[in-house]
Amino acid sequence: MMRRRMAVTLGALAAAASLAIGVPGSAYAAEGVLIVNGQEHKDPSGCYPIDWFPSSVTNETDAIAEVHSGPGCTGQVEWLVYPGETYHTETAQSVFIL
């Protein structure tokens, strides 16, 4: 009986430890600044609209920004803006960054 309790306790502890290690934080945001048409977004996360054309997206973060053809980060990915790059567009409508 004592061995069974010990096994159950150790199993529960192992499961809890693997969950704690295996689940990344859900509040992750890129570190740095995403600049869309001159407007700065510090430590951005999610979708940002592109409101006028011609437009520019400057990525000064540690993540890749996806420039989408549709509003609300829908449609095809028009371009990937890597850290340190600027992209100019006359057709994209939104930018997504994680």
**Is 60 exceeded by the pLDDT of residue 2?**
no
What are the structural domain ranges in the chain? 32-97
CB 67 within 8 A of CB 54: no
Q: State the pLDDT confidence band at 3, using cuts at 50, 70 and 90.
A: low
Longest Cα separation, the chain: 73
| Helices (H), ranges, the chain | 2-22
Q: State the pLDDT confidence band at 98, using cuts at 50, 70 and 90.
A: confident
Going by CATH, does the domain composed of 32-97 fall within 2.60.20? yes
- The pLDDT tens digits of the residues spanning 14-64 come to 444 443 444 444 467 899 999 999 999 999 999 999 999 999 999 999 999
**Is 80 exceeded by the pLDDT of residue 9?**
no
**Is 80 exceeded by the pLDDT of residue 8?**
no
pTM for the structure as a whole: 0.71
Burial bucket for residue 59 (CB in 10 Å: 0-12, 13-18, 19+) = buried
